[in-house]
Amino acid sequence: MTQTPEAGARARPVLLTVDDDPGVSRAVARDLRRHYGERFRIVRASSGEEALEALRELTLRGDRVAAMLADYRMPGMNGIEFLEQAMDLFPRARRALLTAYADTDAAIQAINLVDVDHYLLKPWEPPEEKLYPVVDAMVETWAASPDAAVEEVKLVGHHWSAPSFAARDFLARNAVPYRWYSVEENDGRRLLAAAGAGPDDVPVVVPPGGPALLAPTEAQLAAAVGLTVEPSTDFYDLIVVGGGPAGLGAAVYGASEGLRTVLVERSATGGQAGQSSRIENYLGFPDGVSGGQLADRARRQAARFGAEVLTARKVTALEVRGPARVVHFADGGSIAAHSVVLATGVSYRTLPTDGADGLTGRGVYYGSALTEAAACEDQPVYVVGGANSAGQSAVFFSRHASCVTLVVRGSSLEASMSHYLVQQLSEIPNVVVRTGTTVTAARGGDHLEEIELADGTGRVETVPTSHLFVFIGAEPRTDWLDGVLARDGRGFVLTGPELLVDGERPPGWRLQRDPFFLESSVPGVFVAGDVRSQSVKRVASAVGEGAMAVTLVHRYLEER
């Protein structure tokens, strides 16, 4: 690894270049140093392996990496393979691929495969026109992200502690870089002692430059790591409740069309889709995209248009106050707006199995829980469910586990899972599909140790496992709207034509028109995505409904 020797350079963030051609490597480092040398430390490597080693050293020192530029054609490990592995070390660093004209197809593939931000054609002369604008855009995006502010977050906990898992999952889903320390290791014990805490106080969070937090709430954790939790004002044009694909779509289109927009999310943007390891049927991503990457892009896009994103704020009530629509929070606060888009999605149903509740977060997980991937290395893993989310999770964990067993209550996968995913699962040798099977018990001490499986014949089998991931349908969780909005028998919110009974408008409807297609029984309150009755449970349709809801918001506001 070669780097500039200037004193004090370590404190500056890093621009990393990787190229096996010494002439090209020197040229790109020279051009970067000339333009960015005062603000950034330029590090160059001659291979993907050398660059990964350099990144590991940077993580140990707590350094920050703003951007990485990697040559596509390198022996041993090409640029795409390097950037894919580098994402695990510095997920918030911006990424660009250096490529010749003949390799532009590979560069475009990389944009989808590993979330590459840009590609640069070689040669890039003059750099003022072809290199610096691209690097400027990457640096600006990195600087606007939480990366620089929260790089040194330390999280101390116990692997089989449910609150510790919840804190790790919250940080990961919000794309906040953190370093994990186990209370069973020396570094973890030292951090606990420095914080004046003990093993029973986990999780302990040590943010950069701030006091240690002992077993913080999600709101306290969000504020400590630099996420926005407080609104900038008390009145908006549009409040979006829920940060899944539908909510993010509404926030992007609302803010881009000039509406003062705030998105309120109780946990992390992305919703259930954000927990997906790979979405392969979303338009425009032929090689698939992870739910986390898609959510991160949408969140940054909404912020760029001026939308506020509030995290760790639970909405508990909706109130109609004259022309205003008021949203109340669990902590007693509230905000108001001319209009509201409800995009709260659905939550996974809990497993109705003896012992499962007590082991939640300690071996039993709802959703993919991607932070558990390392702990599943060479271990047997069980996934419960027969729809796409369960299939995507099985594909993901098959790369880590010794065997992944998909436990399906139905007689086949074809009735509930997309064809491409059924085919993909059939081609993975360490994935086993058990149809006509249910989990009837979960047992363990401080963590899950075994589960009980029953098939349709009544045969019961006990199998050892420490990880059970559950995807067994979903519920809208809309009890907080009781008495305010009309819902169907399962709790999904009724909209548009569904509100008309024998041609009559819903009770209390005062406007001289029928409700718009996505409008609820309260004028100015629209519904998008999975929480809407009769919606199509797909990411693309949710995003479309979010955008459509904003169009209807404009029509509603024009009536006022």
Do 399 and 434 belong together in one domain? yes
Residue 341, helix vs strand vs coil: strand
Rg (CA), the chain: 25
How is residue 519 written in tokens?
């409008």
Q: Are strands 324-329 and 315-321 parallel, antiparallel or unpaired?
A: antiparallel
In whole angstroms, give the CA distance from residue 368 to residue 353.
19
Do 37 and 79 belong together in one domain? yes
Give the full edge-to-edge strand order of the sheet including 431-434: 364-366, 467-470, 380-384, 403-407, 431-434
Question: For residue 327, which of 311, 341, 307, 308 has the smallest C-alpha distance?
Answer: 341
Do 407 and 338 belong together in one domain? no
pLDDT tens across the length of the chain (560 residues): 444 333 333 468 999 999 998 888 889 999 999 999 999 999 999 898 899 988 887 876 678 899 999 998 888 888 888 888 888 788 889 998 888 755 666 666 656 656 778 878 877 888 888 899 999 989 998 988 754 444 568 999 999 999 999 999 999 888 888 889 999 988 889 889 888 898 889 999 999 877 899 999 999 999 999 999 999 999 999 999 999 999 999 999 999 999 999 999 999 999 888 878 778 888 887 777 788 888 988 999 999 999 999 999 999 999 999 999 999 999 999 999 999 999 999 998 999 999 999 999 999 999 888 889 889 999 999 999 999 999 999 999 999 999 999 999 999 999 899 999 999 999 999 999 999 999 999 999 999 999 999 998 889 999 999 999 999 988 999 999 999 999 999 999 999 999 999 989 999 999 999 999 999 999 999 999 999 999 998 899 999 999 999 999 999 999 98
How is residue 182 written in tokens?
């186990």
Q: Given 224, 257, 274, which residue is the final one in a domain?
A: 224
Do 469 and 481 belong together in one domain? no
Q: How many Å separate Cα 79 from the centre of its chain?
A: 25
Count of structural domains, the chain: 4
- Contact criterion met (CB below 8 Å) for 461 and 380: no
Q: How many CB atoms lie within 10 A of CB 450?
A: 16
Does residue 438 lie within any of the structural domains? yes
Q: Given 224, 259, 290, which residue is the final one in a domain?
A: 224
pLDDT for 7 equals 35
What CATH number did the domain enclosing 428 receive? 3.50.50.60
Do 378 and 426 belong together in one domain? yes
What CATH number did the domain enclosing 165 receive? 3.40.30.10
Residue 240, amino acid:
V
Does residue 214 lie within any of the structural domains? yes
Residue 121, amino acid:
L
How is residue 340 written in tokens?
């509201």
- Contact criterion met (CB below 8 Å) for 250 and 452: no
Does residue 351 lie within any of the structural domains? no
Q: Given 441, 474, 507, which residue is the final one in a domain?
A: 474
pLDDT for 148 equals 43
- Contact criterion met (CB below 8 Å) for 93 and 40: no
In whole angstroms, give the CA distance from residue 547 to residue 302.
12
Angle at alpha carbon of residue 422, lines to 419 and 423, rounded to 5°:
90
pLDDT for 202 equals 94
Do 208 and 321 belong together in one domain? no
Q: Are strands 41-45 and 324-329 parallel, antiparallel or unpaired?
A: unpaired
Cα-Cα end-to-end distance for the chain: 64
Do 287 and 199 belong together in one domain? no
What CATH number did the domain enclosing 104 receive? 3.40.50.2300
pLDDT for 75 equals 86
- Contact criterion met (CB below 8 Å) for 191 and 154: yes
Do 267 and 190 belong together in one domain? no
Does residue 489 lie within any of the structural domains? yes
Domain that holds residue 168: 149-224
How is residue 523 written in tokens?
């004028």
Does residue 392 lie within any of the structural domains? yes
Do 273 and 312 belong together in one domain? yes
Do 469 and 342 belong together in one domain? no
Do 337 and 482 belong together in one domain? yes
**Helix crossing, 539-559 with 245-256: angle to 10°?**
40
Q: Are strands 2-3 and 14-18 parallel, antiparallel or unpaired?
A: unpaired
Does residue 352 lie within any of the structural domains? no
Does residue 230 lie within any of the structural domains? no
Angle at alpha carbon of residue 26, lines to 25 and 28, rounded to 5°:
70
Count of alpha carbons within 13 angstroms of residue 271, beta-carbon side: 30
Q: Do you find a cis peptide bond into 231, omega within 30 degrees of 0?
A: no
Does residue 318 lie within any of the structural domains? yes
- Contact criterion met (CB below 8 Å) for 121 and 101: yes
Q: How many CB atoms lie within 10 A of CB 224?
A: 21
Q: How many CB atoms lie within 10 A of CB 185?
A: 12
Element (H, E) at 388: helix 388-397
- Contact criterion met (CB below 8 Å) for 338 and 323: yes
Do 121 and 36 belong together in one domain? yes
In whole angstroms, give the CA distance from residue 479 to residue 492.
10
